Amino acid sequence: MWNVLLSFSGLLALIQLLFLPFFPESPPYLLLQKGDKAGCLKAMKQLWGEGNYHTEFDDMMKEKAVTKGIKIMNVLEVLKEPSVYPQLSTMLLLLLSLQFCGLSATANLQESIIPYVSLGVAISELVSVIFCSSIIDRFGRRILLWGGYLLMALILVLLETSLLLGDKFLWMRYCSVVLIFLFLIAYGIGP
C-alpha cells in the first residue's frame, strides 16, 4: 500500500499549493531582503488584520539598520563559522534521521542495492539543503515553495506510475529510485 501512502502526501502537497497564492510574502522578507516598505505594511495588514503596526515596522527597520553593514555569508563561509556548529549539527541529525523513513523500501529493490539507495537519499538531501540555502535569498520562500510543491506533485505522479509498472518492467524499479531522489531534492528545496 505504499502507493496509497505516497498519493496521500501528494494530495496534501496539492492542497497546500492551491492555498499558497492567498498568503502574502513574509513582512520581514519584504522589508529586509527586498526593501519594499509598502509591501511589508500591506503584508502585515493582510496577515494580522487592520491595526497600527508601526512598532513592529520600526523594530524591523532597526534590524535592517543593524544588519546593513553585515555581510551575507555563502554556504562555505557558514560551514567554517564555529558559532553555527550547534545549528548545523541539529540539521545534520534531522537529515540523518530521514534515513530511517523507509523510502528505500518503496522501490521494491534487491536487498543488496538498498544501502546504495540509502546513501543516494542522504546525498539528495544534502544537495537540496545546499542548493536551497544558496538560492533562497535570491528567489524568496514563496517561489521555492511553489516550485517545490509543483515538482513534488509531478514526481509523485511519476513515482506512482513507476511503482505500478515495477512488476511488469524491471527497469521501472530503478526509475522509482531516481524519482525518490528527485522527490527528496524537491522537498528540500521547497517545503
What is the reported pLDDT for 41?
85
> C-alpha grid cell for residue 42?
500591506
What is the reported pLDDT for 99?
56
∠ CA 67-91-95, nearest 5°, is: 145
Pairs from 86-92 (Cβ < 8 Å, separation ≥ 24): 91/129
Across the range 98-123, mean pLDDT stands at 65
Residue 111: helix, strand or coil by DSSP? Answer: coil
Across the range 26-49, mean pLDDT stands at 83
pLDDT in tens, 38-90: 888 888 888 888 877 788 888 888 887 777 767 767 777 878 888 888 878 87
| pTM (two decimals) | 0.49
pLDDT at 93 over 80: no
pLDDT at 98 over 60: no
User: For the chain, what is the mean pLDDT?
Assistant: 78
pLDDT in tens, 157-191: 898 888 888 778 888 878 888 888 888 888 877 77
Task: Name the residue with higher pLDDT: 139 or 93.
Answer: 139
